[in-house]
Amino acid sequence: MIISSVGAGDTPLSGKKIINVRGDPDHPASYGRLCSKGSTLHLTTQITGRALHPELRVTRNEPRRRVTWDTALDTAVERFADIIKTHGPDAVAFYISGQLLTEDYYAFNKLARALVGTNNIDSNSRLCMSSAVAGYKATLGADSVPCSYEDIALADLFLLTGSNTAWAHPIIFRRIEDAKAANPDLKIIVVDPRKTDTAAMADLHLAITSGSDTVLYAAMLHVLLWEGLIDEQFISQHTTGFSELRAQIREISPSAAAAICGVSADDIVKAARWFGAAKAPLSMWCQGLNQSIHGTSNNAALIHLHLATGKIGQPGMGPFSLTGQPNAMGGREVGAMANLLPGHRAP
């Protein structure tokens, strides 16, 4: 982020007014592009509505009064320590934001578990990404996304589901547009009940009935199986339980799924064939899959498509969850969830 300012002062920003921001063209993720939050970042420096100094009230019935930072911090520490001393370390909890840097996450994790002595710590991933976390662990054995932004330029098929990427992840969407412009033969499948801006550029839009995602992906896997578009060698070497999965989806044919999903059987077959024929399919999804009563199943069913075809772990392909916060993964990597230890280890 590059900031433009006017005015004078003793320090680089002292007494100045920020008038504009622009992207850093050398940034490896954005290439200088900004989303709406980034382009309006300078507006957050306005004084209106901002707390300029700490305030304190000893009881709820008295008005707040301005205090120094030392007084505010000392009061917070004393109250916190008194609760722990009186009621034990599990009387407190830490719920931390996905906006933090990985190093900040680590410090909070160390504070909670090593100093305070409580396991009551969770990051925003508990709400935002918990289904993706559980889906990755159930299918791949670890909550570790096997893709990167660099894969976008190398993919020849995008399966975008549960995400209006054009609005929610506009920088990523620009990279998808770039990939399409560079390769006109690239296919884009969008799964969304609504006709979103993302769906508007799809080669195939599957406007499924809300909540029928797992059935759709099971039917696509059905097609991949019966048309010989799976990778038997990869399945044999790198997966377990596939025969049981094959039996479970035997009756979930495209025609059966069509009645549940509200889309045509032909379109389900087309989506499966495109996925099976693609050299590098990249699936991307967000809260439309995750924040569901069967969000983990949604994630697992989608990841199964990559495992069945062996299209994972190589450039341009794989299941790529799109997080709702800039560093939710960083928090999970250092164990900032109650059911995780650093390095994605189980307690």
Structural domain spans, the chain:
2-45, 130-322
pLDDT at 14: 53
pLDDT digits (tens, 9 = 90+) for 259-285: 999 999 999 999 999 999 999 999 999
Answer whether residue 12 shows pLDDT above 70.
no
Of 39 and 319, the one with more pLDDT: 319
Of 163 and 42, the one with more pLDDT: 163
CB of 224 within 8 A of CB of 276? Answer: yes
What mean pLDDT comes out for the span 154-162? Answer: 98
CA-based nearest residue to 216, from 139, 131, 152, 159: 159
pLDDT at 195: 95
Look at phi and psi of residue 149 and say left if phi exceeds 0, alpha if psi is from -120 to 50, else beta: alpha
pLDDT at 150: 96
Q: How far apart are CA 223 and CA 192, in angstroms?
A: 21
Q: How far apart are CA 72 and CA 76, in angstroms?
A: 6
Answer whether residue 231 shows pLDDT above 60.
yes
pLDDT at 99: 87
Q: How far apart are CA 207 and CA 209, in angstroms?
A: 7
Q: Is 334 helix (H, G, I), strand (E, B) or coil?
A: coil
pLDDT digits (tens, 9 = 90+) for 52-110: 899 999 899 999 999 999 999 999 999 999 999 999 999 999 999 888 999 999 999 99
CB of 170 within 8 A of CB of 23? Answer: no
pLDDT at 130: 86
Q: How far apart are CA 191 and CA 6, in angstroms?
A: 47
pLDDT at 179: 97
Answer whether residue 172 shows pLDDT above 50.
yes
Question: Of 32-36, 45-49, 310-314, which one has max mean pLDDT?
Answer: 310-314
Q: How far apart are CA 76 and CA 37, in angstroms?
A: 32
DSSP 4: E
CA atoms within 13 A on the CB side of 153: 6
pLDDT at 298: 97
pLDDT at 163: 95
Answer whether residue 6 shows pLDDT above 60.
no
Burial string for 144-172 (b: 16+ CB within 10 Å, else e) reads: ebbbeeebbeebbbbbbbbbbbbebbbbb
pLDDT band at 9 (very low <50, low <70, confident <90, very high): very low
Look at the block and give the residue holding tokens 């049981």. Answer: 244
3-state helix, strand, coil in the chain (%, to 5): 50, 15, 40
Sheet containing strand 157-161, edge to edge, reads 204-206, 187-191, 157-161, 281-285, 318-321
pLDDT at 3: 55
pLDDT at 4: 56
pLDDT digits (tens, 9 = 90+) for 108-139: 999 999 999 999 999 888 888 889 989 999 99
pLDDT band at 8 (very low <50, low <70, confident <90, very high): very low
DSSP 343: G
Q: How far apart are CA 130 and CA 246, in angstroms?
A: 27
Distances (CA, A) of 182 to 152, 176, 190, 281, 339: 11, 10, 19, 16, 43
Q: How far apart are CA 272 and CA 217, in angstroms?
A: 9
CA-based nearest residue to 221, from 194, 202, 244, 205: 244
Distance of CA 66 to the CA centre of its chain: 40
pLDDT at 10: 44
What mean pLDDT comes out for the span 254-260? Answer: 98
The pair of three-digit structure tokens given for residue 25, joined into one six-digit string: 């063209």
Mean pLDDT of the chain: 91
| CATH 3.40.50.720 assigned to 130-322 | no
